[in-house]
């Protein structure tokens, strides 16, 4: 991507802050974030080097003074428990997405936004982008609505939109999300503190874990697309939570066994596994960081701050 003026909604959050760190080297970047789970400390270095931060919700994009060449919309409530606690978030997400798309329509600005692999809940893996999703939970309905709106604006108004279906993302700055952080991050933090990681069920549920810098790579590669597109952002490999804990025992040096508790959620996603062929073929994206390497990177970043 040549030097641009870029807006990143949710840019103070986990994935957003990592994207901003990459973009700011060669672009002018503005962050719009309501700090729901985002943290100013995630972007302290970026702000020092000239990145502009605006506290606000994505639905208020029309109030922004700048003209943007590109929009990354990551400022979307990002965990299923948030929606169970407040189903009205579905409406807020749809309003925000609509206003983002209205801006892109009026300005001719391309859009890449965060969707989710939770859309595949109840569908046999490996998960392909062309499946028809079922009705499973509020979080999923919000992201499906965003995808459908993206397709609508692309078809009616020729807005270039890419929906990125993130699988289980972990990595730098995730720890600040607390109970909404990725399971790898939650387990690692517990073990570093000498506590048992808590696993719901028997731990045989599987996740396609992807490191955040690989996700950033996928987001950047999607900027070259036109029309409406959906891409899986995963590794194409799945690990059980029990396997993940064993790997974390090696990385942390803590031989702490997990605590198993009863599964409290009826519609829990048991397996995620990305079919990565479309992203590889169309945008040249393949994840580079293995789970073992990603865990080591995350461990180093967390322990460096202790």
Active site residues: 139
Preceding amide of 126 cis, omega within 30: yes
Cβ atoms of residues 66 and 7 within 8 Å? yes
């Amino acid at each position: 991507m040549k030097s641009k003026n870029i807006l990143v909604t949710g840019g103070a959050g986990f994935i957003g802050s990592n994207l901003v760190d990459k973009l700011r080297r060669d672009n002018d970047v503005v962050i719009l974030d309501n700090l729901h789970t985002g943290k100013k400390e995630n972007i302290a270095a970026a702000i020092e080097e000239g990145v502009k931060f605006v506290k606000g919700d994505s639905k208020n994009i029309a109030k922004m003074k700048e003209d943007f060449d590109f929009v990354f919309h990551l400022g979307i409530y990002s965990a299923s428990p948030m929606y169970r606690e407040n189903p009205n978030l579905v409406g807020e997400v749809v309003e925000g997405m609509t206003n983002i798309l209205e801006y892109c329509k009026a300005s001719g600005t391309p859009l890449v936004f965060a969707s989710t692999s939770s859309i595949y809940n109840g569908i046999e893996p490996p998960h392909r982008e062309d499946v028809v999703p079922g009705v499973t939970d509020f979080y999923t309905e919000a992201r499906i609505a965003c995808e459908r709106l993206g397709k609508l604006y692309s078809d009616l108004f020729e807005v270039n939109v890419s929906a990125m279906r993130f699988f289980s993302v972990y990595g730098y700055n995730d720890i600040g999300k607390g109970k909404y952080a990725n399971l790898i991050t939650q387990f690692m933090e517990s073990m570093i503190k000498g506590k048992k990681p808590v696993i719901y069920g028997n731990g045989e549920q599987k996740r396609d874990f992807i490191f955040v810098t690989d996700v950033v790579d996928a987001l950047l590669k999607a900027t070259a697309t036109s029309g409406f597109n959906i891409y899986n952002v995963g590794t194409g490999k799945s690990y059980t939570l029990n396997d993940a804990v064993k790997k974390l025992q090696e990385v942390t040096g803590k031989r702490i066994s997990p605590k198993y508790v009863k599964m409290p959620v009826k519609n829990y996603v048991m397996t995620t596994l990305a079919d990565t062929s479309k992203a590889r073929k169309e945008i040249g994206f393949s994840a580079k960081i293995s789970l073992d390497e990603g865990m080591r990177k995350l461990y180093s970043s967390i322990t460096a701050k202790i």
